Amino acid sequence: MEIDVVIIGAGPSGIQAAIHAARRKVSTVIIGKRSNSASAGAHIENYFGVVGPIDGIELLKNGIEQAVSFGAEFVEENVVSANREGKKFIIKTEGNKEYTAKAVIVATGISRVKLGIPGEKEFVGKGVSYCSVCDCNFFKGKSVAIIGDETEAAVSAELMTKYASQVYWITKEPKAVKSLVDRALLAGVIMKSAAPTEIRGTDKVNALVLEDGSEITLDGVFIELGAKSAADLVMDMDLMPEMDDTIKVDGKFATKIPGLFACGDVIGKPWQIARAVGQGCMAGLSAADFIKVTK
Amino acid sequence: MVTELNESNFDSFVEENKKVLIDCWAPWCGPCRRMGPIIEEIDAGEKDFAVAKLNTDENQAISVRFNINAIPTLLVFKDGLLVKTLVGLRPKDEIINAVNGA
C-alpha cells in the first residue's frame, strides 16, 4: 500500500507524531504494539494536565483512538523489515503487511537487550550471542537456544534451524504473530515454556538452566528480546546509528536521509513522556511538511 | 583500504608485524557494518600497529582456530601471539587503547 507517512513505534512519541501528521491531511499509518512501549507499564504522574498516577496503557489507548479519529491507520504489529528504494521506504510487518512510504518516522523507543541472568556476561562471544543473523554460521550442527517472546526470537529460531542441529525456543509467552510462531515450530524448533535462570559453561557455554530446574545441554544461547532494533531498521534505510544505538536528528527531527525522521527515546535521554510527546509533534509536522514540499 | 586477510596470507601478516589488530566480520552482520568505518579510520590514522580485516564466512577455519563464535570480534596479536579478543561493537578510542595496552 502507498502511504505518505509511516510511523514505526506506538508509544507516546509515535502516537503524537501520528496525530499531527494525520491532522495535516497526509495519509498516515502507525505501526507498533502499545504493550512494547516503556510507558505501557508505567504509572504516570508528571505529565502536564494528567493528574495521576495514571496507567501508561490508558494514555496509549486514548492516544491511538485520537490518532485514528484524525484519520491515521493503526497496525498493532511489529515491523520486521525496512528498506529504502530510490526515494521511498518499504516497511514490512510481522503479519505480512507491506507499505511503501514517502516518509518514515522512527519512534521505536529503547528496548532491553540484556537478559540479566548469571553467566550471560561471562559467556558473550563464548556461546552467548545477541545477533543470530551475525553468528548463525558459527553454530553449524550444534545445539542452541533462542531466548525471547517477540518477533526477533521467532524469526531467529526459524533461521537457526538452517544451521544448528537442535534449536530450542525459550519463551513463557510467545508474543509474535501466530504465523511466525507456526513457521518456527514447523521448521523443527522445540518450544520450552519456562524462564531461563542461568547460563553455564567452562571456557564455553555448555548448558542453559530453566526455572523448573531442568537443564538443556547446548553450545549456544541467542538472546533476542523484543522486535527488530531501531539500529538495525535505520541501517537498512541507509542511516548509521550512533555508537550508543541512538539516532541523530536535526532541529526538525529529520535525519541525514531525506524523508527519514526520528523522535522520542530512540534519539536520546531523558526518557520522559513529556519530551517524547513534544518531539513526536515536531516530527509529525516535519514529515507532513516534507510530503507537501515533495508533492 | 584495510588489508584483507585469508587462509593464505593470515599467518604471514601476523608474523611480519609486531602488533596486529584484526577485525573479524561478515557482510550480513549489522554491528560489523558499523565497525567497518571505525576500523578504516583507525587504519588511516597514526598508529604503531598493523590493521587488517578477516571475513569469517569465507575463512571458517581461521574462525575455528581462534574460537570466534560471535562477530564483530577484534583480535589483537603481539609478536605473533593472540593477546586480546574484543567481542562486539566498540568505539574508536576504546579499540586504540586496547591495542596500545596489549
The answer to whether the Cβ–Cβ distance between B29 and A137 falls below 8 Å is no
Residue A169: C-alpha distances to residues A146, A147, A208, A224 (Å): 5, 6, 12, 10
Quick: pLDDT tens for B26-35. 999 999 999 9
Q: Do A134 and B37 touch (CB under 8 A)?
A: no
Do the Cβ atoms of A126 and B67 come within 8 Å? yes
CB-CB neighbours of A285 under 10 Å = 17
Tell me how far apart the alpha carbons of residues A39 and A105 are, in angstroms, rounded to a whole number.
Answer: 19
What confidence tier does A295 reach under pLDDT thresholds 50, 70, 90? confident
pLDDT of residue A77: 97
Of all residues in chain B, the one with the smallest CA distance to A219 is B69
Look at residue A255 in the predicted model and tell me its pLDDT: 98
Q: Given this model, what pLDDT does residue B62 score?
A: 97
Q: Kindly report the length of chain A.
A: 295
The pLDDT of residue A209 is 98
Q: Looking at the predicted structure, is the pLDDT value of residue A20 above 90?
A: yes
What is the value of ipTM here, to two decimals? 0.91
Closest chain A C-alpha to B101 CA, distance in angstroms: 21
3-state SS of B81-96 is EEEEEEECCCCHHHHH
- Quick one: average pLDDT of B74-87? 97
- Residue A267: pLDDT band (50, 70, 90) is very high
Taking domain A128-223, whether its CATH number is 3.90.280.10 is answered by no
Q: 3-state class of A247 per DSSP?
A: coil
User: pLDDT, tens digit, for every residue of A91-149?
Assistant: 999 999 999 999 999 999 988 889 999 999 999 999 999 999 999 999 999 999 999 99
For the record, the C-alpha cell of A147 comes out as 531466548
A135 touching chain B per CB within 8 A: yes
> How high is the pLDDT of residue A171?
97
Determine the Cα–Cα distance for residues B46 and A204; give it in Å rounded to an integer: 36
A235 near B CB under 8 A:
yes
User: Tell me, what CATH number does B81's domain have?
Assistant: 3.40.30.10
Residue A192 DSSP SS3: strand
As annotated, the active-site residues of B are 29, 32
The domain in which residue B52 lies consists of: 3-100
Chain B's closest residue to A229, CA to CA, is B30
Q: Which residues of B touch A139 (CB under 8 A)?
A: 69
How high is the mean pLDDT of chain A? 96
Q: What is the pLDDT of residues A50-105, one digit of tens each?
A: 998 999 999 999 999 999 999 999 999 999 999 999 999 999 999 999 999 999 99
Q: What is the pLDDT of residues A226-244, one digit of tens each?
A: 999 999 999 999 999 999 9
Q: Are A205 and A215 in contact (CB under 8 A)?
A: no
- What residue spans define the domains of chain A? 2-111+228-294, 128-223
Contact A204, A123 (CB under 8 A): yes
Cβ atoms A18, A281 nearer than 8 A: no
**Which of B29, B88, B91 is nearest residue A133 as measured by Cβ atoms?**
B29
Q: Which architecture characterizes domain A2-111+228-294 according to CATH?
A: 3-Layer(bba) Sandwich (3.50)
Residue A215 parent element (H or E): strand A215-217
Stretch 156-185 of chain A: residues touching chain B, C-beta under 8 Å: none
Closest CA in chain B for residue A233 = B30
At residue A248, the pLDDT reads: 98
Whether the per-residue pLDDT at A254 is higher than 90: the answer is: yes
Mean pLDDT, residues A284-291: 98
Q: How many domains does chain B have?
A: 1
User: What percent of chain A has pLDDT above 90?
Assistant: 97
Q: In this complex, which of A127, A134, A220 lies closest to B29 when CB atoms are compared?
A: A134
Residue A75: per-residue pLDDT: 98
Residues of B with CB under 8 A from a CB of A: 26, 28-34, 37, 56-57, 60, 63, 67-73, 85, 87-89, 91
